Amino acid sequence: MSGDYKQKLKQRLPITRLLEFYGARHVSSDLYHCHPNLGHASEDKHPSLIANDARGVAKCLGNCALNQGSSDIFEVIKRAEKCNFNDALKRAGEIANLPEFGQESARPSQRPFKKKKGLDNKDLNRVPKVYALEERHQAWLEQRFSAEWRWLADYFNIKAWHYHIAVPIDRSEVNWVFIPLDKQKDQTFYRGPSRSVQPFPNWPWEHGQTKHVIKCEGEKDVLRLYAEFHKRNLLNDWAAVTNTNGAQSLRPETGIFKNFEPRRVKSVLISHDNDAAGRQANKTARQMAKDYFDQGTKIKVLQFASSIKGYDISDFLNEGKTFLPKDQLELFNSRQEETGLAQGIQMSLSSRNKSWNS
């Protein structure tokens, strides 16, 4: 490979952009917080990484793989990916989206799908090594969650693994769910020591103060709901939960609501997909909620009127509709008007009321 190609890579891929790609956070001027993805021993509490685009080099002053002299982009990739120079060169081309040897290469979203080899299905307890979100993963998130995607990625600590996004099921990040970028080419799978049916997200300490719960179908619907909670400033009172392994896996013994305080929760909204498995899951979840929560808790099922098979709560929200009851909707709108942010919610209350099925 020619020196011209390496020079083009350095021009196309500034050292600071590469460091941010691997998780480094810019503080000021040439100073960054280093990241374990770059070989840092632990989370960098004090900025110790220095980078200079003009020189094209970086050096970490802490306990890090980058503390051995100044490193260019290829040296950074070698240490981050634990690979040789030739592999680092190819990886730099992928990150910079620069054709190799003058050949036109497809953008990440257009590359032909190749199933990743080397993941032993017998070793289901082992979680594959995840890494910072790449361009294709960011584009997937932005397409589905719009402006909320960055907050969502940070709140759930979403990572990447080849053609999947990886989301920790619990805050200890022991168990993970891997969601495909293209469900036609691959499927959702789970890794970690506990792969039995469990709540997602499994956050006992954070859900203990929740007042309103939405039980939905699938991890993507949970992410969509949390984006909505954040957008409407509802995180203090609202939470969403699903069960892993799909609607057909929901059983009374699952304990899907175990992280919520029974007497504190005022309402539970149950909303699975508009198909046979979803309708059965609605009945099962409703009975589970009745058995678990206090008698004063209002339990409703949002049964979609749409004739589209598989229509779900994400589709419902993407059409501008809302899950908010009438009294909370009026309170939300009044708060919006007071702050000058009123935009309205594109749904008539009459059509919303018809959607509720108690």
Q: Who has greater pLDDT, 105 or 60?
A: 60
pLDDT(216) > 80: yes
Sign of torsion over alpha carbons 239, 240, 245, 250: positive
Average pLDDT of the residues of the chain = 80
Q: Cα–Cα distance between 291 and 240 in angstroms, integer?
A: 19
Is residue 129 in some structural domain? no
Give the residue-averaged pLDDT of 145-173: 94
Dihedral (C-alpha) 173, 179, 185, 191: value to the nearest 10 degrees?
30
pLDDT of residue 81: 83
CATH number of the domain within which 63 lies: 3.90.580.10
Q: Are both 247 and 292 inside the same structural domain?
A: yes
Cross-strand pairs, 58: 51, 71
Instruction: Give the total number of structural domains in the chain.
Output: 3
- Last residue in a domain, options 147, 165, 191: 191
pLDDT(351) > 60: no
290's CB contacts (< 8 A; 6+ apart) are 299
Q: Cα–Cα distance between 223 and 14 in angstroms, integer?
A: 32
Percent of the chain clearing pLDDT 90 (strictly above): 35
Is residue 109 in some structural domain? no
pLDDT(248) > 70: yes
Q: Specify whether the CB–CB gap between 124 and 195 falls below 8 A.
A: yes
Q: Cα–Cα distance between 258 and 204 in angstroms, integer?
A: 8
Is residue 124 in some structural domain? no
Q: Are both 241 and 352 inside the same structural domain?
A: yes
- Last residue in a domain, options 157, 191, 225: 191
Give the residue-averaged pLDDT of 256-276: 92
Phi (first) and psi of residue 245, to 5 degrees: 75, 15
Longest Cα–Cα distance in the chain: 74
pLDDT(105) > 90: no
Q: Are both 241 and 302 inside the same structural domain?
A: yes
Q: Are both 294 and 209 inside the same structural domain?
A: yes
Q: Are both 267 and 239 inside the same structural domain?
A: yes
pLDDT of residue 327: 47
Q: Are both 159 and 284 inside the same structural domain?
A: no
Is residue 123 in some structural domain? no
pLDDT digits (tens, 9 = 90+) for 8-33: 888 888 888 888 888 888 887 788 88
pLDDT(356) > 50: no
Is residue 81 in some structural domain? yes
What secondary structure letter does DSSP report for 170? B
Q: Are both 234 and 333 inside the same structural domain?
A: yes
Q: Who has greater pLDDT, 74 or 68?
A: 74
pLDDT(64) > 80: yes
Q: Are both 215 and 326 inside the same structural domain?
A: yes
Q: 241-257 burial, b for 16+ CB within 10 Å, e for fewer?
A: bbbbbebeebeeebebb
pLDDT digits (tens, 9 = 90+) for 182-208: 988 888 999 988 878 899 999 887 787
Confidence of residue 306 (pLDDT cuts 50, 70, 90): low
Q: Specify whether the CB–CB gap between 342 and 336 falls below 8 A.
A: yes
Q: Cα–Cα distance between 62 and 43 in angstroms, integer?
A: 11
Take residue 269 and report the two structure tokens written for it: 């909204």
CATH number of the domain within which 322 lies: 3.40.1360
Q: Are both 237 and 268 inside the same structural domain?
A: yes
pLDDT digits (tens, 9 = 90+) for 81-97: 888 888 888 888 877 76
Confidence of residue 2 (pLDDT cuts 50, 70, 90): low
Q: Specify whether the CB–CB gap between 215 and 289 falls below 8 A.
A: yes
Q: Specify whether the CB–CB gap between 165 and 181 falls below 8 A.
A: yes
pLDDT(253) > 60: yes
Confidence of residue 109 (pLDDT cuts 50, 70, 90): very low
Which residues span the domain enclosing 245?
A: 199-357
What is the length of the chain? Answer: 358
Phi (first) and psi of residue 178, to 5 degrees: -115, 115
pLDDT(110) > 50: no
pLDDT(225) > 90: yes
Q: Specify whether the CB–CB gap between 138 and 107 falls below 8 A.
A: no
The DSSP bridge pattern shows strands 298-302 and 267-271 to be: parallel
Q: Are both 169 and 245 inside the same structural domain?
A: no
Cross-strand pairs, 268: 213, 299
pLDDT of residue 130: 93
Q: Are both 37 and 166 inside the same structural domain?
A: no
Q: Are both 36 and 85 inside the same structural domain?
A: yes
Give the residue-averaged pLDDT of 334-345: 38
Q: Cα–Cα distance between 152 and 137 in angstroms, integer?
A: 13
